[in-house]
Amino acid sequence: MAKILSIQSTVLNDLVGNQAARSILKPLEHNLIEVPTIILTSHKGQKSSLQIHSNELNISKIFNNVRSTYGIKK
């Protein structure tokens, strides 16, 4: 089983980004680690779309946390 790091958007109501990666890789029993760059309720073109993001996002802290949580070596 492979450990795969997926860094892309998470769109909750559409099969794109991390949702698409999850639907393809989980049935293959891969260990998917998701790091969303942004979280959307639906595609940005939808009027009801809600965007959740942070201007203070520190990618280095995220990678270090993912490494320690999942035992990933450099």
Element (H, E) at 31: strand 31-40
Could you count the other beta carbons within 10 Å of the beta carbon of residue 55?
4
Cβ–Cβ < 8 Å for 35, 6: yes
Task: Give the structural domain span for 12.
Answer: 3-70
* Tokens representing residue 69 in the block: 């949580």
* Tens-digit pLDDT profile for residues 33-59: 999 988 877 766 666 555 556 665 677
Predicted pLDDT of residue 56:
56
- Residue 70's identity, in one-letter code, is Y
Q: Work out how many domains the chain is built from and give that number.
A: 1
Look at the pTM and tell me if it is higher than 0.95. no
- Alpha helices in 1-74, H assignment, sequence order: 17-25, 59-70
